[in-house]
Every structure is written in structure tokens, then in C-alpha cells.
Amino acid sequence: MSFHKKYDFNLIVNEKERWVIDELERQLQLRSEVCRCQDCVLDMVTLALNNTKPTYRVTLMGSIYAKSMDDENSPAVEQSVAVAIAKVFENPSHARGGL
């Protein structure tokens, strides 16, 4: 039996995803000029995630622990999201003006 069939790897969660998505939503509220199409938003999220240290969890206790780290991780996430927005805004994967 393959490893992927034997274990449920869907239980592994990177808590930084939630933090990055929430922070992106917050920052985009202040930046009406930034494209919000599916491609640009996903590009911003993945770019920000690639530039932040992941915080993985599996259990409920892990989730509680990760949430307790919100304040500690906030500046790094804010900075990563701001950089991602700037990069995607300057170099969208489509022509200016959206799809």
C-alpha cells in the first residue's frame, strides 16, 4: 500500500495560510487599484507564503498553540503580504485592467 493511501495527509494544516489570507484581505481593502482576480489573489497568497516560515499543525492542540502565536508572527506576515501585493501589482500574470 502506498504511503499516500495509508495516511491522511489532509490533516496537516499550515496555519500561516489563514494568517496570510486574512492579512491580504485587510491590506487589499486599502488598495483599490490592485487587481482581485483569482490569478492575482492566488499569486499574492502563494508569494507571501513562500516568504514566511510555515506553522504546521495536525491536532486541535496544535491549532490552539498556533493561534497563540498570532501576535508574534503578525509583523512578518504583514511584511510578506505587502511585498507580495507590490510584486503582483507591478507584474500581474495578465494584461493591466484584469481579465
pLDDT given for residue 58 in this prediction: 84
96 within some domain? no
Q: How far is residue 61's CA from residue 87's CA, in Å, rounded to a whole number?
A: 36
14 within some domain? yes
Per-residue model confidence as pLDDT tens digits over 39-92: 999 999 999 999 999 988 887 665 665 665 665 668 899 999 999 999 999 999
Instruction: Give CA 73 to chain center in angstroms.
Output: 13
Q: Which three cell numbers stand for residue 38?
A: 483569482
Q: Which three cell numbers stand for residue 69?
A: 502565536
Based on the structure, what is the number of domains in the chain?
1
73 within some domain? yes
Per-residue model confidence as pLDDT tens digits over 5-31: 999 999 998 989 999 999 999 999 999
Q: Which pTM does this prediction carry?
A: 0.81
Residue 60 φ/ψ, nearest 5 degrees: -60, -40
Q: Which of 47, 32, 38, 49 is nearest to 84 (CA)?
A: 47
Segments forming the whole domain that contains residue 74 = 3-90
56 within some domain? yes
